[in-house]
């Protein structure tokens, strides 16, 4: 009797139990699925048509010239070209955030159309671009659009889920999943026409067409704007798992500037010329290393002049961020906002101290920086 009971119990251990369908359905609704459902309705596909000038070659049909060699003549013509990218609805009344390089030169724009995942398509107008941060704002004449929630740059965790949403290769709404690989990635040298700083690195697949779309966390909050990828030099191969997104706080600052002033005000410090430090200069100025940027020329009655910056000072840090050369200094200076306050750490006559600098709006007559 006991042996029979033992066999029954043992047999029961190997009888598969059926999992209820409702539990399977519940297990499919992961945090990633819910995050996509929260953010994707506000992600748009962008198609930009712009005019470009080309030289068209025509062959002159002449019996005499054809006996020797064909004769060609060149005629300048204009034609339309369309490129695709992504964007994010940031307000219900039709403002859309994207990358500046998705829009290109505003002077050559012919038409911009945006498409929502629900199938609606609108014609958009260009509002403003920020040449420093590779950001742009578009506007469509529509109300009650879906808006994705924006996160906080200081709340991003390395290793957390990162979801890239966009329009890669013009395929339409597409989702890819990875993690936040690193934070605060700086590129002192320009990538194309732009300086990128404090970037979010992710291994979520980002491909041509994803530019301007959001990078989202598992809460469905936008934490960055997908901007470019690293491919080892061959961009035709697509993503290899190293992509970069502009932090959402940088984008938020840009949006606030647009909402308040209708454009990006170019900041002017009055620093006219900087120079890298050489070994002879290091010895002459009694410095400990070649790290820093030497101030060569300052505009009179400028923000830098009023802050106390002098010719011969060496800028070694800006807002606590170390400056190793002129390229790094320029990359940081290009990110300055009008009326914001910045701290320059300088070396003068062997002494190190801080200066408070508040940039002004740059007029057309003023030189950069």
What number of CA atoms fall less than 13 Å from residue 65's CA on the CB side?
A: 8
DSSP assignment letter at 143: S
In sequence order, the β-bridge partners of residue 59 are 72
For residues 106 and 237, give the distance between their C-alpha atoms in angstroms, rounded to a whole number.
29
CA distances from residue 308 to 271, 277, 339, 353, 358 in whole angstroms, order as listed: 12, 21, 17, 11, 12
Tokens of 24: 């399977």
For residues 342 and 136, give the distance between their C-alpha atoms in angstroms, rounded to a whole number.
25
Which of 125-134 are b and which e, b meaning 16 or more Cβ less than 10 Å from the residue's Cβ?
Answer: eeebbbebbb
For residues 183 and 152, give the distance between their C-alpha atoms in angstroms, rounded to a whole number.
13
Whether residue 45 contacts residue 167, with contact meaning beta carbons closer than 8 Å, is answered with yes
Q: What is the 3-state secondary structure (H, E, C) of 317-354?
A: EECCEECCCHHHHHHHHCCCCCCCCEEEEEEECCEEEE
Nearest Cα neighbor of 134 from 45, 245, 233 is 245
Nearest Cα neighbor of 136 from 217, 194, 216 is 194
Q: Cβ-count burial of 255 within 10 angstroms (0-12 exposed, 13-18 middle, 19+ buried)?
A: buried
Helices (H), ranges, the chain: 2-13, 21-28, 31-39, 63-66, 100-103, 248-261, 279-284, 303-307, 326-333
Whether residue 176 contacts residue 205, with contact meaning beta carbons closer than 8 Å, is answered with yes
Q: Which residues are catalytic?
A: 101, 134, 211
Helices (H), ranges, 48-189: 63-66, 100-103
Q: Cβ-count burial of 330 within 10 angstroms (0-12 exposed, 13-18 middle, 19+ buried)?
A: buried
């Amino acid at each position: 009797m006991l042996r029979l009971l033992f066999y029954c119990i043992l047999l029961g251990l190997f009888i598969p139990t059926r999992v209820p369908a409702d539990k399977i359905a519940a297990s499919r609704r992961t945090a990633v699925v819910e995050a996509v459902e929260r953010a994707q309705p506000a992600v748009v596909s962008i198609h930009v048509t712009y005019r470009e000038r080309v030289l068209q070659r025509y062959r002159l049909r002449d019996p005499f010239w054809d006996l020797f060699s064909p004769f060609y003549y060149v005629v300048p013509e204009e034609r339309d070209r369309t490129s695709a990218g992504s964007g994010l609805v940031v307000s219900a009344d039709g403002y859309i955030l994207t990358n500046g390089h998705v829009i290109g030169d505003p002077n050559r724009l012919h038409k911009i159309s945006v498409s929502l995942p629900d199938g609606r398509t609108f014609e958009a107008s260009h509002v403003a671009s920020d040449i420093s941060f590779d950001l742009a704002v578009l506007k469509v004449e529509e109300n009650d659009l879906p808006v994705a929630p924006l996160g906080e740059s200081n709340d991003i965790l390395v290793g957390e889920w990162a979801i890239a949403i966009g329009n890669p290769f013009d395929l339409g709404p597409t989702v890819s999943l990875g993690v936040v690989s690193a934070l605060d990635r700086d590129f002192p040298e320009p990538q194309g026409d732009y300086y990128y700083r404090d970037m979010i690195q992710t291994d979520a697949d980002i491909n041509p067409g994803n530019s301007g779309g959001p990078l989202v966390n598992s809460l469905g909050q936008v934490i960055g704007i997908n901007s470019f990828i690293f491919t080892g030099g061959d961009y035709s191969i697509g993503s290899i798992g190293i992509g970069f997104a502009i932090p959402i706080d940088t984008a938020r600052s840009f949006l606030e500037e647009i909402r308040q002033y209708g454009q990006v005000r170019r900041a002017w410090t009055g620093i006219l010329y900087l120079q890298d430090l050489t070994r002879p200069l290091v010895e002459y100025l009694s410095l400990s290393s070649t790290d820093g940027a030497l101030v060569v020329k300052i505009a009179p009655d400028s923000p830098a002049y009023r802050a106390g910056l002098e010719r011969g000072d060496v800028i070694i840090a800006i807002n606590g961020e170390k400056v190793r050369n002129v390229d790094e200094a320029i990359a940081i200076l290009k990110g300055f906002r009008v009326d914001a306050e910045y701290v320059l750490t300088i070396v003068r006559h062997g002494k190190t101290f801080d200066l408070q600098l508040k940039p002004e709006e740059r007029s057309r007559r003023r030189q950069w920086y």
